[in-house]
Amino acid sequence: MVNYWKEDIETMPREELEKLQLKRAKGMIKRAYDKIKPLHERYSEAGLTPDDLKELDDLAKFPLTHKDDLRDNYPFGLWAGKKEDAIRVHASSGTTGKPIVCGYNKHDVYDVFAEVNARSLVACGLTENDVIQNAYGYGLFTGGLGIHYGGEMMGATVIPISGGNTDRQLMLMQDFGSTAITCTPSYMIYLAEEIVNRGIDPDKIKLKVGIHGAEPWSEKMRAKIEDLMPGMNAIDIYGLTEIIGPGVSVNCDINRYEGLHVWEDHFLPEVLDPDNDYERVAPGERGEIVFSTLTREVSPLPRYRAKDISRLNYEKCKCGRTHARHDKITGRTDDMLIIHGVNVFPSQIESVLMNFEELSGYYQILIDREKLGSLDRIKVKIELTEEHFSDKIKDLEAFTEKVADKLHSTLLIHAHVELVAPGTIPRSVGKAKRVVDLRGDKI
């Protein structure tokens, strides 16, 4: 049996859903045009007014918005409305430069943010009887509070433990009988390792759903997590601060390998081709995802370039939901590495590594520039599990070579593979830093 949070909306016939999207898209564009000066100017320069949005396809006429629009207007210049309208502020870390700051009024917090998270938690198989250990960070980061409000709204018991403090995570998990955990996939790997290393009795772990996101992770990583945590389904949840935070899309429990449902009554997805002037791709093709916030009031963002790469599937899902699904995000256009002229995403490297059961879920990619010439050199640090760690240098050398060969035959990249002792690569409690770029001047 499939449980829904809002069955009528989640299974709404496509035609009806698109009517609702059009009505809401008109409201969003009008709000941006009337209330956000930089967007008003941009639309005016392009000779556009809200009246030019007559049908959904007309949205493609409106210029895209970018991270820089938010940065250039830091902190509140891209908000529709006054600072006083907001009851909450979130910001994304913004690894370079100023953070991205978004505001939420009561409607945004309860009717959008909490709503889509309640819906996501029910879609991935939880009910009000579940105990959710919320190990996403609380604070300006959207992960913690997003899941928190959603979990409370759908009636589960939420443990607001936040990220980190592994001893406490493992203690409360057993004592409170947590049935679900929310954290980054990289932290889940660490928790799973610790459960084994500390010899915790598997019967004391009641987790049946792990809800993981905030960073890219491959199908192979999911398999690794599910392997380490028998009895637990690993679910992918996706989102970004600029659009709302977590809960933009999620796997449904009965069809979790077949994409993430985008809650399309709130967020309108498009897939564009970065190599073809940001035209829409043909249906089902891969490209950069662009989202429009259909219902957000304080920080509406029409056609925002998320820079995440995926594709959309509009087929009705086995679960009965009609909302489109996007494939697991394979990476960001920003994260693409060019190694000796070959394009490769860190997640592709991860997929190759996760084929080796000898390896832990931890790895690091270091990019360097060779002294002579301008070729980029890539080093992949890999870690054996305790179980497979051997003292025999010859075994280790042969294994390292095997991994390098596999990277070459699969991805066509020559990587220098370095094997490190178990537990050496830093464990992260939040987003993992997989790529270390040692080049002074990034290309």
Which parts of this chain interact with ligand ADP (CB under 6 A)?
Answer: 92-94, 142, 213-216, 236-241, 306, 308, 329, 332
Distances (CA, A) of 327 to 91, 177, 298: 26, 32, 29
Percent of the chain that is helix, strand, coil (3-state, to 5): 35, 25, 40
Q: Which long-range contacts (CB under 8 A, 24 or more apart) does 312-317 make?
A: 312/262, 312/269, 312/271, 312/283, 312/284, 313/258, 313/259, 313/284, 314/14, 314/283, 317/252, 317/255, 317/258, 317/261
Do the Cβ atoms of 400 and 417 come closer than 8 Å? yes
Report the residue number, 97 or 320, with the smaller CB distance to ligand ADP: 97
What contacts 193, CB < 8 A, 6 or more positions away? 228, 360, 361
Q: Residue 94's binding partner, choosing from ligand ADP, Zn ion, none, with beta-carbon cut-off 5 to 8 A by kind?
A: ligand ADP
Q: Does 252 participate in binding Zn ion (rule CB under 5 A)?
A: yes
CB 370 within 8 A of CB 377: yes
Which residues 321-350 are close enough to bind Zn ion by CB under 5 A?
Answer: 321
CB of 148 to ligand ADP, least distance (A): 15
Q: Which is nearer to Zn ion, 253 or 297 (CB)?
A: 253
- The encoded tokens of residue 244 equal 């709302």
Q: Does 317 bind Zn ion (CB under 5 A)?
A: yes
The sign of the torsion formed by the CA atoms of 166, 354, 272, 17 equals negative
Nearer to Zn ion, 135 or 252 (CB): 252
Name the binder of 319 from ligand ADP, Zn ion, none, CB < 5-8 A by kind.
Zn ion
Residues in 381-410 at the binding interface with Zn ion, rule: CB under 5 A = none
319 binds Zn ion (CB under 5 A): yes
Task: Give least dist CB 308 to ligand ADP, A.
Answer: 5
| Tally: H helices and E strands in the chain | 12, 21
Smaller CB distance to ligand ADP: residue 317 or 404? 317
Tokens linked to 49: 């007014």
In angstroms, what is the minimal distance from the CB of 304 to ligand ADP?
A: 10
CB 66, CB 32: distance < 8 Å: no
d(CA 300, CA 40): 13
Q: What are phi and psi of 246, to 5 degrees?
A: -65, 160
The residue among 250 and 404 lying less far from ligand ADP, judged by its C-beta, is: 250
Partner from ligand ADP, Zn ion, none contacting 329, C-beta within 5 to 8 A by type: ligand ADP
If the CB atoms of residues 12 and 32 are measured against Zn ion, the closer one turns out to be: 12
What the block records as the tokens of 257 is: 């390998």
Return the DSSP state at 360.
E
Nearer to Zn ion, 8 or 277 (CB): 8
Q: Which does 252 bind (CB under 5 to 8 A by kind): Zn ion, ligand ADP, none?
A: Zn ion
Query: Does residue 9 interact with Zn ion by CB under 5 A?
Result: no
Least Cβ distance, residue 309 to ligand ADP (angstroms): 9
Both structure tokens of 413: 């990249």
> What's the closest the beta carbon of residue 254 comes to Zn ion, in angstroms?
7
Of these partners, Zn ion, ligand ADP, none, which one is at the site of residue 344 (CB under 5 to 8 Å by kind)? none
Q: In the bound complex, what is the minimum distance in angstroms from residue 99's beta carbon to ligand ADP?
A: 8
Q: Which two tokens stand for residue 201?
A: 């009795």
Q: Is 255 in the site for Zn ion (CB under 5 A)?
A: yes
Residue 109 within binding range of Zn ion, rule CB under 5 A: no
Q: Which does residue 93 touch among ligand ADP, Zn ion, none (CB within 5 to 8 A, set by kind)?
A: ligand ADP
* Residues engaged in binding Zn ion (CB under 5 A): 252, 255, 317, 319, 321
